[in-house]
């Protein structure tokens, strides 16, 4: 099997293990991974990501339900968002592998291939993936 | 000030300038332009608070990526992720708008987190960005600097309410709005540091000034701020007179031999006092460095005094080699720890750091004799005469405080004769003794001439004496050694130092007893 194909299947498997499929979900996760604890609102995050508020809000809901992020209570329209590194060893290793993979352009392109754009317009470049 | 009423920054050298620390409730502002080290300053304040004083802290960033902050901190040897894992540190990425509303809110998430980790310190990086939050698009006083000041007041109020000692960084730009907002922050803060980055002769100097600090005394002026890879920041007090509590100056009546040459000691009226300072001035090639080597060897070998040679011109290996060719084994004394050598290139000299290095070496090794080989190099490196004077004054004061005997070698630029001891940066008035080493043209040969022109507290001699540099080093020729041969001794001439030696008649060789100087 060619190395590219192996990585391709690896990415698909890791995404399935973690349980998300939308590009906006990855973007939000990558944003919080890079920024650490963030005191912000979904609208501000959407502004920084170049996405729309509804998509980011939905991504936050989904990531929280998957146990990948934590949200504090709301105050003045903002929350504290933190990455929640999976406690399960398999999910943890998937999480770390994907984050490392996204450090390289080839890895980001693979992620882009496997993630659905959802509401995101094709013309909008996902910042989390840094396609440009 | 009582220990618990002050907060120590933990930044090396800074707390000493703050005479212990900053009053605990003070709001601290660090102002500066791009690249002055503001962010690093704030991060170290938090890091040292946690690691040295067990005071958890929060870092709030608006523009800086936390990942880069962590990376840059790691380069300083600070493991921020480990502190986050221990729940002693929280780095929060947010926006000015959010922080503005957060600190006004009774149920602030930020302050809730501060309580959660027991935070006692907070650093907010880039407080000037709050002016975005104050820009409501409405006319004054609802927007602009006025409302920015109100916003800052609210922020300070909120931090104070939670008993957080806050350090805020504020960039100083060249555009008017930035200057106005920085001014507002400066008025409201209790302690203000001004960080500067100056380009001078293609070199970069970073400095920090304590502009104000309410409720305490501190060391004013512009001090060097050094960023050291793997270690963090260090502040070096600007070179000046010693700290106020060190003003007492001991004196000694003990005299020591200069280089173990009795005739030279006689010129000084019986050696030099412990704790005295001596300027050895002369043209390049007259033997100043050799004499410096002998001074240190005499101290180490015969007087049991540890010595320090500071060289800005010659590498220590070269000095040791040259001394060796004259039979003066310097390396042996270096190896035994009796003589220490500090070599620094004048091109990269930062005088505050250099001075601190000297102080540390002297104190660490209990140095009692010091030779500075190359005062001219300092004058070339420092450019500003005031800084040079401050350095020499500080060094002289420090030497005297420790009763350390110090010798300054100075290369006089004038070839034959001289019009001033130190024509470029005159500091000869502050030393106790001056030994002038000259070249004298006699017929077709150049000969070396030593003259003691100043020896405070001593009845020194004013005779100009010929000397040679030979195996064993500096040797002063006896008055009459060459009386029967040509060329004649210096005592046969007048105007030796005036560029025009004039031969006296036969009677001119006598009458030495009338040439002793007064006690000066």
B13-48 residue pLDDT tens: 999 999 999 998 899 999 999 999 999 999 999 999
Token pair belonging to B397 = 């004061």
ipTM metric:
0.78
Average of per-residue pLDDT across B243-272: 79
Q: Give the pLDDT score at B52.
A: 97
Average of per-residue pLDDT across B328-334: 92
Contact between B109 and A44 using a beta-carbon 8 Å cutoff:
no
> Is the peptide bond prior to B141 cis by the omega test (within 30 degrees of 0)?
yes
What is residue B280's DSSP assignment? E
Residue B113's closest CA among A22, A28, A36, A51?
A: A36
Contact between B98 and A44 using a beta-carbon 8 Å cutoff:
yes
Beta strand pairing call for B28-32 and B191-200:
parallel
Q: Give the pLDDT score at B93.
A: 93
CB neighbours of residue B360 within 10 Å = 11
Consecutive H or E run containing A99: helix A89-101
Average of per-residue pLDDT across B404-415: 86
Q: Give the pLDDT score at B519.
A: 42
B121-135 residue pLDDT tens: 999 998 888 776 665
CB neighbours of residue B126 within 10 Å = 19
Contact between A35 and B98 using a beta-carbon 8 Å cutoff:
no
Min Cα separation B132/chain A (Å): 15
> Is the peptide bond prior to B151 cis by the omega test (within 30 degrees of 0)?
no
B73-101 residue pLDDT tens: 999 999 999 999 999 999 999 988 888 78
Give me Rg for the CA atoms of chain A: 14
| Whether the predicted pLDDT of B63 surpasses 80 | no
Q: How far is CA B76 from CA A92, B47, B234, B385, in A?
A: 29, 11, 12, 35
Question: Which residues on B lie below 8 Å from A44 (Cβ)?
Answer: 95, 97-98
Q: Of A126 and B206, which is predicted with more confidence?
A: B206
Average of per-residue pLDDT across B232-259: 78
Q: Is residue A26 helix, strand or coil? A: helix
Nearest to B94 among A39, A72, A73 (CB): A39
Any idea how long chain A is?
Answer: 132
B146-200 residue pLDDT tens: 577 888 888 888 888 878 899 999 988 766 666 667 777 788 899 999 999 998 8
CB of B154 within 8 A of CB of B103? yes
Please tell me if residue B129 touches chain A, with a CB cutoff of 8 Å. no
Contact between A78 and B102 using a beta-carbon 8 Å cutoff:
yes
Our CA angle for B264, B267, B268, nearest 5°, is: 95
Residue among A41, A75, A84 with most chain B CBs within 10 A, to mutate: A75
| Whether the predicted pLDDT of A126 surpasses 50 | no
Min Cα separation A29/chain B (Å): 14
Q: Using CA of residue B434, residue B439, residue B441, residue B445, what is the dihedral sign? A: positive
Phi then psi dihedrals of residue B204, to 5 deg: -105, 130
B430-471 residue pLDDT tens: 899 999 998 887 777 788 999 999 899 888 888 888 999 999
């Amino acid at each position: 099997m060619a190395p590219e194909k192996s990585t391709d299947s690896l990415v698909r498997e890791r995404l399935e293990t973690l349980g998300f499929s939308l590009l906006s979900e990855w973007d939000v996760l990558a944003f919080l991974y890079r920024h650490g604890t963030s005191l912000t609102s979904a609208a501000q995050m959407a502004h920084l990501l170049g996405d729309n508020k509804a998509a980011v809000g939905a991504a936050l809901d989904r990531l929280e339900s998957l146990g990948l992020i934590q949200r504090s209570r709301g105050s003045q329209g903002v929350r504290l968002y933190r990455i929640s590194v999976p406690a399960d060893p398999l999910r943890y290793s998937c999480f770390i592998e994907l984050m490392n993979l996204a450090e390289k352009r080839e890895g980001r392109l693979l992620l882009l291939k496997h993630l659905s754009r959802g509401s995101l317009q094709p013309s909008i470049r996902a910042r989390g993936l840094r396609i440009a | 000030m009582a220990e618990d009423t002050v907060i120590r920054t933990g930044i090396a050298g800074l707390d000493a300038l703050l005479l212990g620390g900053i009053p605990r409730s003070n709001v601290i502002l660090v102002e500066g332009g791009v690249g002055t080290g503001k962010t690093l300053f704030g991060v170290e304040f938090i890091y040292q608070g946690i690691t040295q004083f067990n005071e958890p802290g929060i870092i709030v960033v608006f523009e800086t990526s936390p990942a880069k902050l962590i990376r840059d901190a790691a380069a300083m040897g600070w493991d921020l992720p480990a502190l986050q894992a221990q729940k002693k540190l929280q780095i929060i990425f947010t926006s000015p708008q959010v922080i503005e509303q957060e600190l006004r809110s009774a149920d602030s998430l930020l302050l809730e987190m501060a309580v959660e980790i027991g935070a006692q310190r907070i650093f907010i990086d880039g407080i000037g960005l709050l002016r975005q939050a104050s820009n409501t698009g409405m006319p004054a006083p609802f927007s602009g600097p006025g409302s920015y000041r109100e916003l800052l007041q609210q922020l300070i109020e909120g931090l104070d309410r939670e008993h957080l000692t806050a350090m805020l960084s504020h960039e100083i730009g060249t555009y008017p709005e930035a200057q106005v907002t920085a001014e507002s922050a400066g008025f409201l803060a209790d302690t203000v540091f001004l960080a500067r980055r100056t380009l001078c002769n293609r070199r970069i100097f970073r400095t920090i000034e304590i502009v104000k600090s309410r409720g305490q005394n501190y060391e004013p002026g512009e001090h060097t701020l050094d960023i050291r890879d793997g270690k963090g920041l260090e502040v070096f007090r600007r070179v000046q007179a010693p700290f106020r509590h060190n003003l007492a100056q001991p004196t000694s009546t003990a005299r020591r031999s200069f280089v173990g040459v009795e005739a030279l000691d006689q010129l000084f009226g019986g050696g030099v006092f412990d704790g005295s300072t001596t300027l050895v001035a002369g043209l390049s090639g007259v033997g100043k460095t050799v004499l410096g080597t002998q001074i240190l060897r005499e101290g180490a070998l015969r007087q049991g005094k540890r010595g320090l040679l500071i060289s800005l011109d010659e590498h220590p290996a070269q000095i040791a080699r040259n001394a060796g060719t004259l039979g003066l084994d310097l390396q042996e004394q270096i190896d035994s720890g009796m003589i220490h050598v500090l070599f620094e290139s004048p091109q990269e000299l930062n005088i505050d750091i250099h001075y601190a290095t000297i102080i540390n070496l002297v104190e660490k090794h209990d140095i009692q004799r010091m030779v500075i080989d190359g005062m001219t190099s300092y004058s070339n490196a420092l450019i500003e005469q005031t800084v040079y004077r401050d350095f020499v004054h500080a060094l002289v004061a420090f030497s005297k405080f420790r009763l350390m005997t110090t010798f300054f070698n100075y290369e006089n630029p004038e070839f034959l004769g001289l019009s001033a001891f130190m024509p470029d940066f005159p500091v000869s008035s502050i030393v106790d003794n001056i030994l002038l080493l000259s070249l004298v043209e006699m017929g077709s040969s150049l000969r070396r001439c030593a003259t003691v022109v100043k020896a405070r507290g001593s009845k020194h001699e004013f005779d100009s004496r010929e000397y040679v540099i030979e195996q064993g080093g500096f040797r002063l020729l006896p008055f009459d050694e060459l009386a029967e041969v040509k060329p004649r001794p210096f005592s046969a001439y007048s105007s030796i130092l005036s560029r025009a030696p004039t031969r006296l008649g036969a009677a001119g060789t006598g009458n030495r007893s009338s040439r002793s100087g007064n006690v000066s």
